[in-house]
Amino acid sequence: MGQPYNPSAPVQAAAPPPMPQNFKCNSCGGPMKPSAGLALVVCEYCGAVTTMGAGGAAEVFQKHFMLNNKMTNETAMESGGKWLNKGIFRRKVAERSELGAVTLKYVPYWVVPTSVVADFQGTKNAGAGAGAGMMMHGDGKQKAAGAALFALTMAAAAAGGQNRNVQVSQPQVVRVRDRIQLQRNIPVVAVRGYSQYQPEDGFTFELQNKSNFDKRQTGGVDVQSGDVSEAEAKAQAAALAHKFAEREAKKRVDNLESIQVYPTTYDGELLHAPVWFMEYAHKGKQMFILIDGGSGQVMNGERPAFALW
């Protein structure tokens, strides 16, 4: 059943469940000696995940999937370099940066199906110059159209300064009240302290390529256990859903006045994803890039806003 979101209820992090010092894997019978505080323990022998409950070791978690890594060290660095240089205000950022450590890990993520309903209100400019708002709030095509319209508006204004007979109409403010409905599979990293491994808002894994977890398919890459329970992941997914809805609302108005967001989270699944973590330094500042080894897409990262020299 879905868990309704209560905007007035404080979000409380669940305490890590108690952990026995050692036990046997419920799948293969191999010995397991997990570290304290873990909520998800990966068997070193068969790779099965055991979830930890109040009574100790629970049964093996069944909805456990993986994505295969399709990148090498070289292709990962190439993908990261292209992302660094992307943008008209960035020139040769990758070439002028010092590469640090490059690591590949299989990181656990809770993938939480989430539906969002949001009611919002705001104002939108109508008339001359109204499309300029799309430069900030729209997608790539909308931003390009907004930039062109803004340029035309400025040209008309300039012509008006030279020829008083040319009239530039003033924008009219229109009030907007609308509802947003979204469906997302929100990934939440299942390891505390791995905040840099949390995907950027809006990123989703290519779940159509997932398969049942098989440790033999990891190629000996480090497979991480986790210490974030599914209940905690649902709470984090609800918070992320609020950001998604607010971002969508800002695409529809030029001035967002208020928004009420009601996410509903459902039971999810555990996904071990191959993640490339790259460290680099640009002009002495330490930064990072996070890349999904399954799709080659950048999941999160830092890069300079301007780098023209």
Nearest CA among 231, 257, 277 for reference residue 103: 277
Lowest mean per-residue pLDDT among 27-31, 205-209, 233-237:
27-31
Handedness of CA 76, 295, 222, 224 (dihedral sign): positive
- Decide the pairing of beta strands 211-212 and 40-42: unpaired
How many alpha carbons fall within 13 Å on the CB side of residue 44?
7
Q: Please tell me which residue, 96 or 108, carries the higher pLDDT value.
A: 108
Look at residue 178 in the predicted model and tell me its pLDDT.
95
Over residues 284-294, mean pLDDT: 92
Task: Supply the pTM of this predicted model.
Answer: 0.75
- Number of C-beta neighbours around residue 299 at 10 A: 23
Look at residue 10 in the predicted model and tell me its pLDDT.
52
Most confident of 45-49, 129-133, 149-153, 296-300: 296-300
Look at residue 26 in the predicted model and tell me its pLDDT.
76
Q: How far apart are CA 146 and CA 11, in angstroms?
A: 39
Lowest mean per-residue pLDDT among 32-36, 98-102, 122-126:
32-36
